[in-house]
A = this chain, B = another copy of it.
Amino acid sequence: MEKKYVYSFDEGNKEMKNLLGGKGANLAEMTKIGLPVPFGFTISTEACNRYYAEGQQISDDVAQQISYNLKKLEEKTQKKFGDPENPLLVSVRSGAVISMPGMMDTILNLGLNDESVAGLADLTQNERFAYDSYRRFIQMFCDVVLHIPKHKFDAILEARKAEKGYESDVDMSSEDNQAIIEAYKRLVRQETLENFPQDPKTQLIMAVKAVFNSWNNPRANVYRQLNRIPSDLGTAVNVQSMVFGNMGNTSGTGVAFTRNPITGEKNLFGEFLINAQGEDVVAGIRTPQPISEMDKTLPEVFLEFKDIANLLENHYKDMQDIEFTIEKGKLFMLQTRNGKRTAKAAVKVAVDMVSENIISKETAVSRVEPSQIDQLLHPTFDSKELDNAEKIAQGLPASPGAASGKICFTAEDAVAAAKNGEKVILVRLETSPEDIEGMIASEGILTARGGMTSHAAVVARGMGKCCVSGCSDIRVDEHKKTVYIGSEEFKEGRYLSLDGNTGFVYSGRIQTKEPELSGDFSLLMSWADEIRNMKVRANADNPKDASIAVKFGAEGIGLCRTEHMFFEEERIPAVRKMIVADTVEERLKALDSLIDYQREDFKGIFKAMEDRPVTIRLLDPPLHEFLPHHDEEIQALSKQIGIEFYKLKTRVEELKEFNPMLGHRGCRLAVTYPEIYEMQTKAIILAAIEVKEEENLDIIPEIMIPLIGSGKELEYVRKIVNETAVQVLKECDTEISYKIGTMIEVPRAAVTADEIAEHADFFSFGTNDLTQMTYAFSRDDAGKFIREYKDKKVLESDPFQTLDKQGVGKLIEIAVELGRKTRNDIKLGICGEHGGDPDSIDFCQSVGLDYVSCSPYRVPIARIAAAQAAVIAKDQSK
């Protein structure tokens, strides 16, 4: 049998979204449940894909199916395409599976030509309307189908209006329109060397092709990328017979939401306009009235509409966004879809619908976009002010929130300015661990380089601080303390505003709004917690972050990095002494002066987390990160710690690496300088002992060894850690439990996880580094080309944002399988940035991890996402 590419509205239903697009499926569904829908048909997404597969040609069988359905439509409406007496007019609309504003939207009144326009005039008893419609149809068709620049049509129209001295389009007579139509047609001949197509079927085929083509226009591509919509879905085309809302005072058109999409309140929310077509609402010729006013003008129709709106919401079990037209007192439904809503509304609608018994808690939890939750947790710009703000650059939306402040170019300047009560935006080429204090002092961070998991991005997210990274539109001159954005120069002290949700950079100052969390939010989160199987932990390196994490519902710490602790002002000299030490004795001496700091660090974190598990990662970065690199700084350090300049400089040189990411770091430090991990282990165990004594908390520290690549390596380092722990406990004559595990972040660790598991109590997938190694992408360098990769569709998404399931995920699957083979009860988690990404969390559920860990500010997102993943898993196992 021939493959079916075209479906009339009575052949489909709402489950056929993939085939008919969202709009088409819903039109079919409304038809099916008996609602008044103008008849029509949908050309499927498969037809679109075939169109591309065949070199942008509509094949004969698709064309035949369109003709066949057109005939059916003519029969049903008792009208004929191009009929001068009783012409069939149609709207043509694109309709993708996932609604996409980048695509061609609508052509109205297709079917009009020099003859049928007369029929329309007769039919509507309104010649002016008919010619106005024809004129607009030509203009719209020429714009979206023939791609003739719109301004050329506007010029003709304006010329006529000027000639006649009209102020508005409404002043134009039917004759004016006819004259303009003739001028338009001449323009078409000039531009295309052909006449404006008079045959409605030709018009239709051309319009269908234009919709198909719009699937691949640049705007649509960008939109898909931003929203991670696959590029091979294709779009459907809906062809629907026209109804007219402009046939007098019993006609009209409108749009309504079944609930308030801003607040979520249960009230019909929308607008309508009497004696108008949809277009008029958009054109803004007259101001539409609130939907509730319809009660007064068309009370019966309003009652019918309210019933239908109610019915649709109950049918779809979600808030609906409905378009309708009233033709001479008769209501027609033109579209229904799940309504877009603010984060606040999303939460309220979901919670309300549970109490209204419309949906289950599982469904409620699944209704809220986890990324929307983020909006609720961070400051945002006042939307009115934003409209007037000057957008001057765009970078990566590296850490959510909004911030305004004066530009500073160094961490010291930022700290100083903040002390003076200034709000600061720290602008850097890129940040490094030495900038931490400056980042803390700033409202937001803007960097020219670095991707979504660059130092700036990771640290800012950890701090819940707004950050725009990898903004290649700016050129930073740190020495001159100035930044060039476009052709403008911004010196130190000038105001900039950053939107970390969009990556936009604005000139000047914009007011921000603080987030408020509602009771509905807490309720929804509690349902999420009931539903999910995976635990949610946070990445936190200090007691403050740990407290925030607990506040946001973290059930433990999945990653406590110890390197940030090393950078604090009073400690860094000792750290540096330790690094430049020539002998084990010198190194031990330097480490000795650090142990009390570390012990206090850990005590603070243990206390903040109470009885929740805390995973502490031992020192990870290459040692040269702790050393200064310029001669002046080395000179200063030389004086400070009393080691001669030359020796210090030699050591700095020695520690430099071509590829520090693949260098002497992580557990490799422990193989060469076991004293470091010994000191850290000692601090951890002592802290646990003391907190147990002081607070009676039963702390079970989880000591995590980074960058392990083989079983032997972990065996070696575990022995160092374990012997130290045993000795400390012996010396203190006490007992506490502790666990020793490792990160799986080196590809080799994944494929040899069976051997590694022999020495590990737990695995934590360090997916940042694992992604770096698996892809051979340096996250600090890849920003530049990853963007190009996405533009060229070589990458669907940034693998540092969304876990690459196929590659990195494959390694994780291998590691999970091998790890569990050796040790069935091994605890498995993830602590890379992906631990806070909903899509990646779904993957974590599917491979059976025990927990995810993410920045404190992403904990609520992760809780929701984990619940959604659990719902999906449950559905799939059915």
Contact = CB atoms under 8 A, between A and B. Distances in A.
A781 B658 contact: yes
Interface stretch (A377-385, A407-415, A608-616, A805-813): A805-813
B781 A671 contact: no
A264 interface: no
A751 interface: yes
A689 to B, nearest CB: 30
Given A748-B804, A751-B811, A712 B659 contact: no
A659 B781 contact: yes
B775 A748 contact: yes
Nearest to A776: B746
Given A668-B785, A748-B775, A778-B657, A794 B662 contact: no
A658 B629 CA distance: 14
Interface stretch (A192-200, A343-351, A766-774): A766-774
A228 interface: no
A751 B773 CA distance: 13
Contacts of A657: 778, 780-781
B808 A748 contact: yes
A659 B661 CA distance: 7
Nearest to A665: B776
A747 B806 CA distance: 12
A124 interface: no
Nearest to A713: B794
B671 A712 contact: no
Contacts of A794: 671, 710, 712-713, 716
A659 B716 contact: no
A32 interface: no
Interface in A776-834: 776-778, 780-782, 784-785, 788-789, 792-795, 804, 806-808, 810-811
Contacts of A806: 710, 751-752, 755
Interface string A259-274: 0000000000000000
Interface in A716-751: 716, 745-748, 751
A722 B201 CA distance: 40
A149 interface: no
Nearest to A650: B475
A662 B659 contact: yes
A585 to B, nearest CB: 19
Interface string A182-220: 000000000000000000000000000000000000000
A373 interface: no
A662 B664 contact: no
A712 B810 contact: no
A662 B661 contact: yes
Residues of A in contact with B, size category: 35 or more
Contacts of A746: 774-776
Interface in A668-706: 668, 671-672
A663 interface: yes
B671 A785 contact: yes
Contacts of A792: 671, 716
B709 A664 contact: no
Contact of A671 (B780, B782, B788, B808): B788
Given A671-B792, A774-B747, A804-B748, A664 B784 contact: yes
A773 B747 contact: yes
A866 interface: no
A710 B807 contact: yes
A707 interface: yes
A677 to B, nearest CB: 14
**Residue of A745, A751, A795, A806 with most chain B CB atoms under a 10 A cut-off:** A751
Contacts of A101: none
A780 B810 contact: no
Given A712-B794, A792-B671, A751 B662 contact: no
Contacts of A671: 785, 788-789, 792, 794
Contacts of A662: 659, 661-662, 772-773, 776-778, 781-782
A660 interface: yes
A788 to B, nearest CB: 5
A226 to B, nearest CB: 19
A765 to B, nearest CB: 14
A780 B748 CA distance: 19
B707 A776 contact: yes
Contact of A751 (B664, B780, B793, B807): B807
A659 B748 CA distance: 19
Contacts of A710: 794-795, 806-807
Given A747-B774, A792-B716, A663 B752 contact: no
Given A776-B709, A776-B769, A781 B664 contact: yes
Contacts of A751: 774, 806-807, 810-811
Contacts of A769: 776
B773 A774 contact: yes
A747 B748 CA distance: 9
A795 B795 CA distance: 36
A789 B709 CA distance: 12
A780 to B, nearest CB: 4
Contacts of A775: 709, 746, 748
A832 to B, nearest CB: 15
Contacts of A811: 747, 751
A751 B751 CA distance: 11
Contacts of A659: 659-662, 778, 780-781
A774 B748 contact: yes
A807 B794 CA distance: 28
Contacts of A777: 662
A658 B774 contact: no
A806 B4 CA distance: 52
A480 to B, nearest CB: 12
A807 B776 contact: no
A658 B663 CA distance: 12
Contacts of A793: 712, 716
A234 to B, nearest CB: 18
Nearest to A751: B810
A452 B171 CA distance: 85
A772 B748 CA distance: 10
Of listed A668, A755, A780, A810, residue having the most chain B CB within 10 A: A668
A773 B662 CA distance: 8
A435 to B, nearest CB: 15
Contacts of A808: 748
Interface core residue of A658, A660, A672, A775 (most chain B CB under 10 Å): A658
A723 to B, nearest CB: 15
B788 A672 contact: yes
Nearest to A668: B785
Contact of A661 (B664, B776, B784, B807): B776
A668 B788 CA distance: 10
Contacts of A776: 661-662, 707, 709, 745-748, 769, 773
Nearest to A791: B671
Nearest to A809: B751
A752 B810 contact: yes
Contact of A658 (B672, B780, B804): B780
Given A662-B772, A747-B776, A755-B806, 17 more contacts: A658-B661, A659-B662, A659-B780, A660-B778, A660-B781, A662-B781, A664-B781, A664-B782, A664-B784, A664-B785, A716-B792, A716-B793, A746-B774, A747-B747, A747-B811, A748-B804, A773-B773
28 contacts: A657-B780, A658-B660, A658-B661, A659-B778, A659-B780, A661-B776, A661-B778, A662-B662, A662-B776, A662-B782, A668-B789, A671-B785, A671-B788, A671-B792, A671-B794, A672-B785, A707-B776, A709-B775, A709-B807, A710-B794, A712-B793, A712-B794, A713-B794, A746-B775, A747-B747, A751-B807, A751-B811, A752-B806
Interface of A: 657-664, 668, 671-672, 707, 709-710, 712-713, 716, 745-748, 751-752, 755, 769, 772-778, 780-782, 784-785, 788-789, 792-795, 804, 806-808, 810-811
Q: Which 4 A-B residue pairings sit nearest by Cβ, starting from the closest?
A: A662-B778, A748-B807, A659-B778, A747-B747
